Amino acid sequence: MSLLHVFDESGTRTLLRTTDVDVMARQLAERGITLHRRPVRPLPAGADAQTVLDVYREDVGEICAAGGYRLVDVAALRPEPDNAEWERTARAAREKFLYEHTHAEDEVRFFVGGRGCFYLHLGDRVYATVCEAGDLLSVPAGTTHWFDMGAVPDFCVIRFFEEEDGWIGSFTDSGASAPIPQLDDLLTMA
């Protein structure tokens, strides 16, 4: 379920909560963020990065042409029950991106499996944007945000870049993410 939950900066007051993708797209567009839905294509179980790119070749070509992206890759974490090493790796990956940061270029993510939440800190509001398979999100360069993949990460995204180091985050050390509910809590809120 795609979801937009808008909080005040303190995380104590809900200003908007919607699962209507059209409302989500309009709300985000007013703030320079692009959200589109694209068709979801079936992926074989355990699909590797090349398989994902092959299945989504046409979509990748269209997105690259429209945005001028030169590089793409696939980032994915799928649950591996009873695998302590996977749990350590997933926990470390999650922790890294739970802190507010920016990027030198647009952050463009096409979710092709699972879900994750981009928290966009825009002025005195936080736009918690839960993306799922089919959601294409484009966050302009310099936008303060953080990402939560949940306690048990399960997502697969195609990432688009202009430069090889376009994904590198510049962390703000603001502490802005601390009072805002994380993805798992966000999904259970009414």
pLDDT by residue (tens digit) across 47-76?
999 999 999 999 999 999 999 999 999 999
Lowest average pLDDT, out of 47-51, 61-65, 110-114, 166-170, goes to 166-170
Is it the case that residue 141 has pLDDT exceeding 80?
A: yes
Of 8, 45, 34, give the one whose Cα is nearest residue 139.
Answer: 34
Displacement of CA 47 from its chain's centroid (Å) = 20
Is the pLDDT higher at 48 or at 167? Answer: 48
pTM exceeding 0.85: yes
CATH number of residue 72's parent domain: 2.60.120.10
* Collapsed DSSP state (helix, strand, coil) of residue 127: strand
pLDDT by residue (tens digit) across 25-55?
999 999 999 999 999 999 998 899 999 999 9
Eight-class DSSP state of 4 = E
Of 165, 116, 173, give the one whose Cα is nearest residue 144.
Answer: 173
Q: What is the pLDDT of residue 133?
A: 97
Is it the case that residue 155 has pLDDT exceeding 70?
A: yes
- Number of domains forming the structure of the chain: 1
Quote the Cα angle for 57-60-66, to 5°: 140
Is it the case that residue 167 has pLDDT exceeding 80?
A: no
Q: What is the pLDDT of residue 166?
A: 64
Eight-class DSSP state of 104 = S
* Collapsed DSSP state (helix, strand, coil) of residue 67: helix
Quote the Cα angle for 77-135-8, to 5°: 90
Residue 15 near residue 125, CB atoms below 8 Å: yes
Is it the case that residue 190 has pLDDT exceeding 90?
A: no
Structural domain span for residue 26: 3-188
